Amino acid sequence: MTVLQLLAHAPSVFEPVVTLGISVLTELEIPDDLRELVVLRVARDLDAPYVEAQHLTAAYDHNVDPAKAQAVAYGSIAAAKLSDVERVVLDFTHEVLLCNEPSSNTITALRSLISDRQIVELLVVIGYYTLVCRLTTTCRVVPQASFIADLMTSSRQPKAGDTAP
pLDDT digits (tens, 9 = 90+) for 74-92: 988 887 889 999 999 999 9
Q: What is the pLDDT of residue 165?
A: 34
pLDDT at 30 over 60: yes
Handedness of CA 103, 106, 112, 116 (dihedral sign): negative
Number of compact structural domains in the chain:
1
Is there a contact between 40 and 72 (Cβ–Cβ < 8 Å)? yes
Q: What is the mean pLDDT of the chain?
A: 86
CA distances from 29 to 9, 32, 93, 136, 140 (A): 32, 9, 17, 27, 32
Domain that holds residue 116: 3-154
48 in any annotated domain: yes
Does residue 165 sit within a domain?
Answer: no
* pLDDT-based confidence at residue 160 (cuts at 50, 70, 90): very low
Residue 160 lies in a domain: no
Query: Residue 140 falls within a domain, yes or no?
Result: yes
* Residue at 102 is within a domain: yes
pLDDT of residue 20: 93
Positive or negative, the CA dihedral 129, 133, 139, 142 is positive
Which of 147, 142, 139, 162 shows the shortest CA–CA distance to 6? 139
pLDDT exceeds 50 at position 154: no
Residue 4 has pLDDT above 80, yes or no: yes
Residue 159 belongs to a domain: no
Residue 11 lies in a domain: yes
CATH of the domain at 128: 1.20.1290.10
> Is 26 contained in some domain?
yes
> Considering the entire predicted model, what is its pTM?
0.83
3-state DSSP call for residue 155? coil
Torsion of CA 165, 163, 51, 4, to 10 degrees: -40
Higher pLDDT residue, 50 or 80?
50
